[in-house]
Structure formats: structure tokens, C-alpha cells
Structure 1
Amino acid sequence: MNKIAELKFHITNPYSCSYLPDKLACSEVASPEYLIDDQMYGQLIQAGFRRSGHYTYRPNCMHCHACLSVRVNVQAFIPRRTQRRAWKQHQNLTATQHSLHYNADHYALYQQYQLTRHSGGGMDHDCREQYQNFLLQSHVNSKLLEFRDGGKLRMISIIDVLPDGLSSVYTFYDAEIPHASFGTYNVLWQIEQCRRLGLKYLYLGYWIKENRKMCYKANFQPLEVLIHGNWQLLADTSSLPDDDQ
């Protein structure tokens, strides 16, 4: 049964786009949050929504359609040679699963990651409260994953468990280790978890062709993209929407 009809939706005022410079963005927000349980959030994810803390939204920009929801078809996925190399490279990592919670070491790693990989992006000076609101608040079945190497913290990943898959919320890692492939390994690890749990998809959020930091998602094929309410292979680019300007 489709329960999305029970929700209310509103459009935000325009704000500076986090992904494309010199553009304004708007979001469609679902409320009230207490109605969004695991089943309903699964329906919202399938309709292109995403979660940031308690905030459930999807892009709703009048003159731009660059943000496209994508998911990996887990059973059909075949890793590339470079991905197999990343998987083998980080087999020394040990993953443990936890409920969402604050840890000073996690926050320090988050700050280091933002300053190293996303300096000037607006999140490199997030205070503890902003960090907690972004990653440690959830109204659905969310997990915090620690990845350690010999006891040394290397990576944190937040995931949501959905009826048909896992949703990769956010991952940050030690960005100062040369030649590491933590990000690639993490996506592969989540794909493997989907297989073990019998789940069909890994939802990777939004793919933006023009944003180089988002391009990595297209490397996990077959990747499905949501176009006009229908999921289709990303390889079929003929029906990808164009910007109006």
C-alpha cells in the first residue's frame, strides 16, 4: 500500500547549490517526520527522495535537473579490475556495526576528511552540533559502521536499511593515507552486504554528471537512474533530462 499520500510536501525557498557553482537550488521536503518509518522511507527512496538527519527531501529545481537518483543492481554488478584491486588492498580492514552515537574520534576523523577533501565546501567547519544533526539523527533503521586497521580508526559509514536495499547516507575516512582506496572499498563492502542480506539494491544518492566528486558513482555498473519516475540503466543516456538554461 502506498502511504506517501499521508504526507505533506512543501518547496523550500531558493538557496545556493552545494554541487554546481553559481546556481540556486530548491528542495521538496516531506513532513511530518514522525510518519516516515522504514516502509514509507523505502517508498520515498524509490521516488527519488533522500535523508539528511531528520530532513527528507529531493531536488526540485525549476531550471536544472542535474541531480539524478541512482542505485546499483546488486545481483548484476560485476567489479572492474581497479575495483577488485581496491577490494584486495583493504582486506585488512575490520568492520563493526553500531547504533548512531557520538564519538570524539569519529568527529575528529570527519573534520580531517572535510578539510582534506572538501575544503571550502561549506562542511569543513561543521561544529559538533552540525555534525550530529547531519549524521547522528534518524527516524529510520540506520547503522554506523566503523572500519579499523589493527585497531586504528580508518573510516566511518552511515547506512539506512530499507525493505529492498541499503541506502549509503555518508562515508568519511582517513584522507591522508597515500594510495588508499577507502571510498571504492566502502561501496564494494556495502554491495556485498546487500548480497548477504538478500537485498536487491544499493542506493547511492544523487549522481551529477557535471560534478567530478560525484562521477565515481557511474563506475559501479549496472547503475540505474531515476528518470521521470522510472528506473532505467544509466548507460541509456538518450532520455536524460537537459537543463533549461
Structure 2
Amino acid sequence: MKSDVVRLFQTLPHECGYYPGRTAQNLVIDPSAPHLAAVYGTALSRGFRRAGGHVYHPHCSSCRACVPCRVVVAGFSPDRSQRRCRARNADLETRAVPARYSEEYFELYQRYLAGRHRGGGMDSPQHEDFSRFLYTDWSPTQFLEIRRNGRLLGVAVTDVCSQGLSAVYTFYDPAETARGLGTFAIQAQLDWAARENLAHLYLGYWIDGHPKMDYKRRFQPLELLRQGSWVGFAQPRGDTVAE
């Protein structure tokens, strides 16, 4: 992405969300750019990610731990744990719908944050926080609903671009932890991408050895963006997966 096509801004240092005691900075595409929707897909393929109305890339002065990653859809082969997860959730239905606010979504979002991220600064969201964080007017966002007999169990917030799908965020019923809905949602997004003949599912950033990011290496074939080029990432696969 060239700076003469879009303007890039660097944020001020702020607390790192992954490593206590570290500071982080991001490069952000000008959020007021009128053609932001048009360049978003290209930005995605070059390692950027969306949060709300901001398209950003980590740009820390002394750390390069965050590495963009994506799954090659056509080559995906679930491991044994992922196959068990799919079988365990054979009673679920999925449906992609336009992103929007609803009390049903918000109530589930509240319960998810309270159950999974208590004390993390997001566990008391307001109505406007839901929309501000998950989608924006220009973003090509769909909600992949996960339901059982009509009851909403999860939502995978997904951006749909010609370059592929981007898994933005997933929230689900914390009482259904045994189902592994996080893993199930990624497999459902891979199924969706395959139906649409999209080449990649973007999973944001992978951090080597970080417990919250380690699950991403289990979705093979995985590619990492290294020095401007996407390269394959081979990793032995065991049977334990973060759900």
C-alpha cells in the first residue's frame, strides 16, 4: 500500500493488549478517506485488519510479534480435534445476515464479555460500543449466526471481500463452552468461503507462543505475511486446541 494512494497515520504509544508492561503502536489508514471501502480488500491482503471504522496494522518500534495470517481455503484439512468439534455441533445451523444491532445480539455479546473477558475493560459494553467495535457504515460486514432450534448461540462477525473473508470477531454463549464454538465458527467461515470460491480466510494476527493466539496455527494450510510476502507455515498438529 503506497502512501500516495492513501494516507497513513501512526497512533501514539498505548498499552499492549497482549503483553503486560509493553507499549504498542499502529499504522492506521486515514479513517476519513472517501475510498476506504474500495481499498479495504487490498489492505487486508497486505496485513491490515479492521476494528470498527479503523483499518490498522501493528507498527511497534521494538516488537514485531504480531504476524498477519490467513488460511488457504481450498487446502484446509481439519485435524482430529476439529473433526470432533464439527461432529459435536452437528445440531447447529448457520446463516449469514447483514450486520446490524439487535437486542438479541447485544444480550449475547454482553454475556460473552462478562463470562470470557471479565476485568478486561470490555465487560460492561453500552449499546453504541457494540456497533462501534463490530461494524461501520462502509464495511462489508455480515453476521454469521449460529443457532440451535432457533436459539442464538454465537455470532461470527465476518467481512466479505473479493480477496477472501476476514474473521473480525466471534462472540458466543459462555454456557456452551464445551461445544468449542470458536473453533466451530472458523470452520463455518471456511465452509462459507469455499462456497463463494474465495481463496483465503484472514484470521488477523498470530503471535508465536502466545496462548491466546496459538489456536490459529491449527488451521492448516496457514500462511504468514513475512517481509511483504505470504509464506506457508508448517507446524506439527496435536490434539489439543483452544476453543
Alignment match, 1:105: 104
Alignment match, 2:196: 197
- TM-score scaled by length of structure 1: 0.90
Give the residue type in structure 1 aligned to 2:204: G
Give the residue type in structure 2 aligned to 1:224: E
In 2, Cα distance between the equivalents of 1:47 and 1:5? 16
Structure 1's 75 and 57: CA in aligned 2 closer, same or farther, altered over 3 A? same
Runs of 4+ that moved beyond 6 A? none
Q: How far apart are residue 3 of structure 1 and its match?
A: 7.6
Residues 158 and 169, structure 2, Cα contact 8 Å, conserved in 1 = yes
In 2, Cα distance between the equivalents of 1:20 and 1:124? 19
In 1, Cα distance between the equivalents of 2:112 and 2:131? 16
In 2, Cα distance between the equivalents of 1:30 and 1:234? 28
Alignment match, 1:45: 44
Structure 1's 47 and 178: CA in aligned 2 closer, same or farther, altered over 3 A? closer
Structure 1's 3 and 58: CA in aligned 2 closer, same or farther, altered over 3 A? closer
After the TM superposition, which residues 150-161 of structure 1 pair with which residues of structure 2 at under 5 Å, given as runs? 150-161=149-160
In 2, Cα distance between the equivalents of 1:228 and 1:120? 36
Alignment match, 1:36: 36
- TM-score scaled by length of structure 2: 0.91
The root-mean-square deviation of aligned C-alpha atoms, in Å, is 1.6
What do residues 40-97 of structure 1 show as CA deviations (whole Å, max 9, x unaligned)? Answer: 1111011111101111110000101111110001111110011011111112111222
**Matched length:** 234
Residues 70 and 200, structure 2, Cα contact 8 Å, conserved in 1 = yes
Which piece of structure 1 moves more, 75-84 or 175-184?
175-184
In 1, Cα distance between the equivalents of 2:177 and 2:43? 38
What do residues 93-143 of structure 1 show as CA deviations (whole Å, max 9, x unaligned)? Answer: 112222121111211111111121112222112222122100132423211
Q: Percent identity?
A: 37
Structure 2, unmatched stretches of 5+, are: 236-243
Alignment match, 1:132: 131
